[in-house]
Amino acid sequence: MSADTYAITKIVGTSKTSIEDAIDGALATASKTLRSLDWFDVTSTRGFIENGKVKYYQVTIELGFKYEG
């Protein structure tokens, strides 16, 4: 019987425009050095306020990737 083994890593992405852009940017950066990415889970969402307005969005993401071999 074959069984897969996965690792989980936590990263934080930021964007001045949206939560979705923060997620996309974080995944794009992570995919440059991590292979076999399978899933992600947004574990928290935050933002930074300046002069009463959103300055940037911040998301913490857990990434799951499969061990090779």
Q: Provide the residue-wise pLDDT of the chain in tens; the chain has 69 residues.
A: 568 898 999 999 999 999 999 999 999 999 999 988 999 999 999 999 999 999 999 999 999 998 887
CATH architecture of 6-66: 2-Layer Sandwich (3.30)
Go through 17-33 and write b for each residue having 16 or more CB atoms within 10 A of its CB, e for each that does not.
Answer: eebebbbeebbeebeee
**pTM for the full predicted model:** 0.85
Contact (Cβ atoms closer than 8 angstroms) between residue 43 and residue 53: no
Predicted pLDDT of residue 63 = 96
Domain residue extents for the chain: 6-66
